[in-house]
Chains A and B, each alone.
Chain A
């Protein structure tokens, strides 16, 4: 769970610091080295080892990396001892410092089959640098029975959502749980999208330099100050516990919790995208995907690329197995998502529809960690401290503008 939480929201920080091992797993120099972070679901490790073993052109040695994968990977790429092939989200800095190679020729034949938003999250300056492996997404879960008892319809605008959260708060039940920080880490993006704004525009300008942004963030403050939010829960938003224990009527969490929620609540829940604020905005779901990448410092780039092509483009059956046999993800290839048996009905089918129609990249490659920190800090201060939204956002806008200028000139 931990790594997935980081994948979708890097500012969530309940990750224990893990020491970096110095054993890089360098074998006899024959095998390609491939790294994964430690997936929480049982069976994934065996599965990826099985895939690697069935590749007959060159031997592939899989290394499973528990702990702080992101830091370990960054360090190893920096020092040149990194793996040939690895999974990661895409950061523009990795491209600009020539740490990874473009994979357009790898993905070529299947390019149009990959969900556009997902592929965009692995594209910088028009070139693809990662082949998406598995899609994770966040959405709003709501208890049908609680809504029915209160005579409420599922919200289709932010105002309706705030109103519903307020009305559903009574006794030991709160209206909404969106993380112990009041939603600062996970709702900052959806709030912008709800008003038709974004982090960064396609023209590389600040996407939220607009009075509407202050209004959108203000709604999150309204939620917080109305007392309708659950705060200080034992487990954070990435776990479904608050929702399944009946502490809240709605929770913002991820697709990965669907099996656990189904087990606990049966059919008594529905899923929604974050609603729109106004007519300019649209409902949205944040999506993210780990992609397979090739280390530019590898001495065997061509072999590594060929392996990635074989595993994540040619072997569609492996992609389906990887996404749906262990945890609960959506295959990034639309053709697979459309026909996978587990995604045909109920909340899972809704999720697939949201990814198709409402997906927004949870962490675009040019949304750097400096930008993210300054934006999330601003949102936090507005939500939890009641700081004036326009002033806080102005500070974030100027920081993001500086960063964009540095990146794109």
Chain B
């Protein structure tokens, strides 16, 4: 009896919070997706799957889903490899390890909005005195409108560097934690068996031992790629180029007089199913 009371004392508030602030809104959103819900969250006009049909034939929404699937395909491996490399480097040095860990982790503590503004307004602004354009100027090149140009789409350079700067440190820490869990005896045994300390140990000891961490990191990266919002919103605004699905849905349901919760919710459900599908597929592929 006492056990159960303590259990609910600790778990209860959290569960209640989760139910009220997470599960209820999700459930409500699913409900709204079947109604014509404009300017109301208590709609009365049931429309079945009409909202879903609209969203699945909405060229802009499909385009943004496509764009971000491509984005995920590109940015997930890139972040993964760079974070792992950074972790191996930082973990390998003998002195000042804590210092470098903090230095690389620190950007993660920076607000996405603040970082976006720095990237947009000072590093990659399009006039001749922007940082990137100043550097180009040294080589006699013309200024580039980084966030505007669509051919070539330079804005991806801005957004990918920004995202890497913000996120690498976090995934690096996850990898370092993983690395430190690998028993040293494995390396010693490998060394005695004649494995070279470079590529061979990495390939046959480190990477297999990091498997669980890697799977978790990949999963987090995938979800984060589809949920991109802040930096895109702040760097690119609402235009049709590089517009994440969430930003499109935000405009429909909440932005500037939209208030179309039916279509917004339907889109959110579709996006959730897509993320869940990708995650399940990922689990299948990487399952032991």
Interface residues of A (CB under 8 A from B): 6, 10-14, 16, 70-71, 74, 78, 89, 91, 93-94, 96-97, 99, 172, 180-182, 184-185, 230-234, 247, 368-370, 372-374, 376-377, 380-381, 384-386, 395
Contact = CB atoms under 8 A, between A and B. Distances in A.
Contacts of B255: 10, 13, 71, 369
A385 B241 contact: yes
Interface in B255-269: 255-260
Nearest to A94: B39
A-B interface, 7 closest residue pairs, ranked by CB to CB distance from nearest: A232-B126, A10-B256, A231-B145, A232-B145, A97-B39, A377-B240, A13-B237
B147 to A, nearest CB: 6
A359 to B, nearest CB: 21
Interface of B: 38-41, 59-60, 113, 121, 124-128, 130, 143-151, 233-234, 237-241, 251-252, 254-260
Contacts of A395: 59
Contacts of A14: 234, 237
B148 A384 contact: yes
B130 A16 contact: no
A234 B121 contact: yes
Contacts of A13: 233, 237-238, 255
A232 B113 CA distance: 18
B128 A172 contact: yes
A130 to B, nearest CB: 13
A6 B128 contact: no
Nearest to B129: A234
B256 A381 contact: no
Given A99-B39, A247-B127, A369-B258, A381 B148 contact: no
Nearest to A16: B113
B126 A93 contact: no
Contact of A184 (B124, B239, B252, B260): B239
B150 A384 contact: yes
B127 A181 contact: no
B239 A373 contact: no
B257 A368 contact: yes
A11 B257 contact: no
B58 to A, nearest CB: 9
B148 A232 contact: yes
A96 B149 CA distance: 40
A11 B248 CA distance: 12
Given A96-B38, A233-B125, 10 more contacts: A12-B237, A93-B39, A94-B39, A172-B128, A181-B148, A184-B239, A230-B127, A232-B147, A233-B127, A384-B149
Contacts of A368: 257
